[in-house]
């Protein structure tokens, strides 16, 4: 039963309290520090507060409720064992200002996680400080700029394929690079010849996503890396989709110089609602001097923080990054081991291809080659009934599913990008396929039912533009 939930301040009953504190007596702070007028806080009981937040939480959809097929986001189940590890007192309660001596174990954990990630990605060194994938991109591009600047010319341009995530050109632009877009070919991947045509000695780097946002492996990556390296450029790889490659491909060995990882995707730490994530970055030896500070150095079995790095790009995050995420990722890697990590990739690819096969006769597939961890359909077959991608996504909510990513990647008109991840059992994939088929049938028979969806959710169709443009964050 979901009812309209008023704000806490609307539930105020004058005089109602949710706390009981002893009389302050003589311990009151000096008068000048006391407020003159009472703060305008909601007057509610503990029960009111608990019910308010639990009711709100029930209006949310989460991975613990069901399939969350948001393509490129890798919304996989977060095992509770890794939460338990992060909740251990010495991890959860460690004060960020505590001395190195007292958190040797925590520093060791970060140090080891860096080594695991370096091995997984085929990189020489890793920093765990960035707080998101996009923050990792910024960190990586800053290191690339510092690398070129140290050679006397920071260069001017960065090459980015048209299938890239929007954060790629944004990160390059923040580092004052001009973005040169290259088109992917009819198979959805980059042609080495197209990179060669735009690569020159004023190009600082190529940013490539592998597997790319169409769920396809950029199989020419080695040749592309050679073309870029030949003119002194570096290759940045967006590794947000590494779930498909774990234990199978080490991108560093393909020639990549910088690689970011999304712990909140590949390594199953929670995606907060814009909250804590972690985007560690791996680099090759030549970029090590530019890594953000502090560095964790192991000397005679002790872990020390090193700040004196003259060429470093400096601090990218206060204290020790989103440490709770690092603990979860560490626990996840340790629990699974090399064979388990490889099985993640195998199952993620299997599940995506199961959905692809299940729906290929019902929805249009713009790129016919087999996909890795996700598959991209379009609304081409449904469009003549007047139904669009957005309507299909909204209608899925009536079937109890979170909609997939839509209208991305931009190169697919009306894209529906589905990433089931490895943590879905076959039964839920079958339910999802059945729902998508039922919706396709509705598009033919009762298109207005789809165009006005959702019908069964607490809220109907929201004005998303207004919601984004007119932020009202104060009561
Ligand atoms: C998710 C994603 C990013 C950005 O990661 P955030 O942690 O959301 O900042 C970048 N590139 C690709 C391909 C992604 O899927």
User: Average per-residue pLDDT in the chain?
Assistant: 95
- What does the pLDDT read at residue 264? 96
134 Cα: distance to centroid of ligand 1 (angstroms): 6
pLDDT at 273: 59
pTM of the full predicted structure? 0.92
For residue 182, the CA-to-ligand 1 centroid distance in Å is 20
Residue 213 Cβ contacting ligand 1 at under 6 Å: yes
* Cα Dmax for the chain: 80
Q: Is the beta carbon of 351 within 6 A of some atom in ligand 1? A: no
Cα dihedral across residues 46, 51, 54, 56: positive or negative: negative
Asked whether the CA dihedral 115, 117, 119, 121 is positive or negative, the reply is negative
How high is the pLDDT of residue 472?
A: 83
Task: Indicate if the pLDDT at residue 393 is higher than 60.
Answer: yes
H-helix or E-strand spanning residue 256: none
- Concatenating the DSSP letter of every residue in 61-121 gives --TTTS---BTTT------HHHHHHHTSHHHHT--TTS-GGGGHHHHHHHHHHHHHHHHHH
Report the pLDDT value the prediction gives residue 160, as an integer from 0 to 100. 98
Domain assignments of the chain as residue spans, ordered by start: 81-335
Q: Is domain 81-335 annotated with CATH 2.70.150.10?
A: no
- Tell me how far the alpha carbon of residue 268 lies from the centroid of ligand 1, in angstroms: 14
Q: What confidence category does residue 369 fall into, taking pLDDT thresholds of 50, 70 and 90?
A: confident
**382 CB within 6 A, ligand 1:** no
Contact call for residues 396 and 403 (beta carbons, < 8 A): yes
Give the separation between CA 145 and CA 367, rounded to whole angstroms. Answer: 35
| ∠ CA 340-243-439, rounded to 5° | 115
- The model's pLDDT over 194-242, given as tens digits with 9 standing for 90+, comes to 999 999 999 999 999 999 999 999 999 999 999 999 999 999 999 999 9
C-alpha to C-alpha distance for 381 and 81, rounded to whole angstroms? 44
Of 72, 240, 322, 417, the residue with max ligand 1 atoms within 8 A of its CB, to mutate for a pocket test, comes to: 240
Residue 119's closest CA among 13, 8, 242?
Answer: 242
Is 316 exposed, middle or buried (CB count within 10 Å of its CB: 0-12, 13-18, 19+)?
A: buried
- Say how many C-beta atoms besides its own lie within 10 A of residue 47's C-beta: 9
Task: Indicate if ligand 1 lies below 6 Å from the C-beta of 277.
Answer: yes
63 vs 436 pLDDT, higher one? 436
Average pLDDT over residues 2-29: 87
Cα of 240 from ligand 1 centre, angstroms: 6
- Percent of the chain exceeding pLDDT 70 equals 99
Check pocket membership of 240 for ligand 1, CB cut-off 6 A.
yes
Residue 233: the pLDDT is 98
Which pair of structure tokens corresponds to residue 228? 């870029």
Q: How high is the pLDDT of residue 404?
A: 97
Q: Is the CB of 252 under 6 A from ligand 1?
A: no
Identify whether the C-beta of residue 413 lies closer than 8 Å to the C-beta of residue 378. yes
pLDDT tens-digit series, residues 15-24: 999 988 888 7
Q: What is the mean pLDDT of residues 145-158?
A: 98
Ligand 1 contact via 133 beta carbon (within 6 Å): yes
**pLDDT category of residue 467 using cuts at 50, 70 and 90:** confident
User: What is the average pLDDT across 180-192?
Assistant: 96
Distance 261 CA to ligand 1 centre (A): 9
Ligand 1 binding pocket includes 238 (Cβ within 6 Å): yes
């Amino acid at each position: 039963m979901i009812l309209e939930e008023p704000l806490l301040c609307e539930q105020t009953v004058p005089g109602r309290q949710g706390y009981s504190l002893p009389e302050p007596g003589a311990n009151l702070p000096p008068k000048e520090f006391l407020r003159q007028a009472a703060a305008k806080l909601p007057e509610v009981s503990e029960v009111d507060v608990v019910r308010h937040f639990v009711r709100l939480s029930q209006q949310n959809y989460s991975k613990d409720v069901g399939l969350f097929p948001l393509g490129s986001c890798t919304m996989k189940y977060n095992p509770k064992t890794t939460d338990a590890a992060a909740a251990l007192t010495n991890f959860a309660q460690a004060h960020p200002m505590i001395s190195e001596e007292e958190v040797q174990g925590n520093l060791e954990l970060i140090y080891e996680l860096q080594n695991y990630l370096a091995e997984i990605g085929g990189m020489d060194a890793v920093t765990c400080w960035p707080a998101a994938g996009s923050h990792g991109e910024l960190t990586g591009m800053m290191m690339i700029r510092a690398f070129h600047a140290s050679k006397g010319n920071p260069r001017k341009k960065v090459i980015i394929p048209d299938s890239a995530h929007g954060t790629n050109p944004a990160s390059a632009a923040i580092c004052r690079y001009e973005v040169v877009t290259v088109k992917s070919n009819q198979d959805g991947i980059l042609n080495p010849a197209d990179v060669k045509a735009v690569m020159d000695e004023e190009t600082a780097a190529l940013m490539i996503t592998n597997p790319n946002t169409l769920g396809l492996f950029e199989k020419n990556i080695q040749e592309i890396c050679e073309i870029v390296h030949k003119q002194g450029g570096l290759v940045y790889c967006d590794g947000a989709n590494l779930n498909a490659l774990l234990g199978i491909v080490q991108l560093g060995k393909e020639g990549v110089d910088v690689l970011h990882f999304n712990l909140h995707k590949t390594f199953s730490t929670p995606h907060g609602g814009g909250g804590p994530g972690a985007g560690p970055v791996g680099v090759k030896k030549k970029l090590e001097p530019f890594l953000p500070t502090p560095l964790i150095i192991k000397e005679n079995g002790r872990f020390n923080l090193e700040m004196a790095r003259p060429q470093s790009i400096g601090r990218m995050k206060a204290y020790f990054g989103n440490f709770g995420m690092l603990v979860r990722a560490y626990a996840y890697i340790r629990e699974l081991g090399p064979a388990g990590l490889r099985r993640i990739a195998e199952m993620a690819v299997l599940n995506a291809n199961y959905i692809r096969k299940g729906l290929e006769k019902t929805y249009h597939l713009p790129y016919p080659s087999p996909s890795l961890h996700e598959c991209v359909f379009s609304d081409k077959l449904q469009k003549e009934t007047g139904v669009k991608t957005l309507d299909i996504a909204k209608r899925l909510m009536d079937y109890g599913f979170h909609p997939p990513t839509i209208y991305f990647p931009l190169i697919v008109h009306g894209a529906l990008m589905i990433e089931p991840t490895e943590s879905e059992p076959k039964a839920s994939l079958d339910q999802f396929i059945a729902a998508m088929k039922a919706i396709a049938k509705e598009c033919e028979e009762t298109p207005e039912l789809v165009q006005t969806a959702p019908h069964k959710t607490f809220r109907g169709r929201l004005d998303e533009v207004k919601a984004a443009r007119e932020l009202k964050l104060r009561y």
